[in-house]
């Protein structure tokens, strides 16, 4: 039994991985009009219908789901191959970087949902937004598409990701509204420059977060919002542990809500709180207003 129990559990978990891959494959075929064997296409459609009750999605809705699947499955394989690695971004894996970026597109609907409850955020999304840790630029692209008057400045310390972002922005036709800079958020010296500042907490080491929050707060115009996002998952003990593992292997810290809200408040932000979740993306959103 000691040998059989882990195998039985692994088979169950493997089915979940297969289901995630099948859903992403179906969405790619249908949203990107990819060629597919008719028999495979039919089975994938049945799997998608069983999982979600629907058999298709727009390219905009499909992209973050495909990004999630690619990210989770690639990171899962890397975890098996290199189980003891500490969180770091020192290797160039372009497909993984792009998939993480496409997953981040799911943050855009979360920010839009927050705009329905946070005073002034909807108007701020017609102004200037600082996208800290912009990576390959996909969140900036999603926000710029959703808000035609929004101007985005994306900063990152990882040059290979920014190189990919430049190509993505050019393909999206948004180089006139999204600026990219190789810059450390902790050394940001701008003041009263942005209406919204976005912080991706899973990719920020704990020791730099207070400084990044302070510089982000200073960079906001009066009345502007700082938004900080963390990973989330199923509301179970296992779900929380797996979320924490994904966070620490991404280089971040598994913040407890009270601790993170305390950091936001200590930086001088007002109206600090967690935004009630009303979106599908696996992110929790915290906010504070200058």
Query: pTM here?
Result: 0.87
Total residue count of the chain as it appears in this document: 290
User: Which part of the chain has CATH 3.40.50.150?
Assistant: 104-289
Q: What is the pLDDT along the chain (290 residues), one digit of tens a residue?
A: 455 578 788 888 889 999 999 999 999 999 999 999 999 999 999 999 999 887 667 777 888 888 889 988 988 888 898 888 776 666 668 888 888 888 899 999 999 999 999 999 999 999 999 999 999 999 999 999 999 999 999 999 999 999 999 999 999 999 999 999 999 999 999 999 999 999 999 999 999 999 999 999 999 999 999 999 999 999 999 999 999 999 998 899 999 999 999 999 999 999 999 999 999 899 999 999 99
Confidence at residue 1, expressed as pLDDT on a 0 to 100 scale: 43
C-alpha separations of 209 from 4, 119, 132, 214, 252 in Å: 44, 25, 12, 9, 9
The CATH code that applies to domain 104-289 is: 3.40.50.150
C-alpha separations of 161 from 156, 194, 201 in Å: 8, 23, 17
Distance CA 145, CA 59 (A): 13
């Amino acid at each position: 039994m000691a040998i059989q129990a882990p195998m039985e559990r692994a088979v169950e978990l493997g089915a979940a991985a297969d289901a995630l891959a099948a859903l992403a494959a179906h969405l790619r075929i249908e949203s990107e009009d990819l060629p597919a064997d008719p028999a495979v296409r039919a089975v994938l459609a049945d799997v998608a219908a069983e999982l979600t009750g629907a058999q298709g999605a727009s390219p905009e809705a499909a992209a973050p789901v495909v990004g999630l699947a690619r990210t989770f499955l690639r990171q899962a394989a890397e975890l098996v191959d290199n189980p003891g690695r500490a969180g770091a971004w020192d290797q160039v894996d372009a497909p993984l970087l792009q998939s993480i970026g496409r997953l981040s597109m799911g943050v855009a609907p979360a920010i839009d949902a927050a705009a329905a409850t946070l005073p002034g955020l909807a108007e701020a999304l017609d102004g200037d937004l600082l996208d800290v840790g912009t990576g390959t630029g996909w969140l900036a692209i999603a926000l710029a598409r959703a808000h035609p008057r929004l101007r985005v400045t994306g900063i990152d310390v990882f040059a290979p990701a920014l190189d990919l972002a430049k190509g993505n922005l050019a393909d999206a036709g948004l180089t006139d509204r999204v600026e990219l800079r190789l810059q450390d958020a902790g050394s940001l010296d701008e003041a009263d420059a942005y209406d919204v500042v976005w912080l991706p907490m899973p990719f920020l080491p704990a020791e730099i977060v207070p400084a990044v929050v302070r510089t982000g707060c200073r960079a906001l115009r009066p009345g502007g919002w700082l938004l900080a996002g963390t990973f989330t998952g199923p509301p179970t003990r296992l779900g929380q542990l797996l979320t924490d593992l994904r966070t620490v292997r991404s280089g971040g810290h598994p913040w407890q809500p009270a601790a993170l809200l305390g950091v936001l408040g200590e930086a001088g932000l007002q109206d600090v709180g967690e935004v009630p979740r009303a979106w599908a993306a696996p992110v929790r959103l915290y906010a504070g207003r200058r």
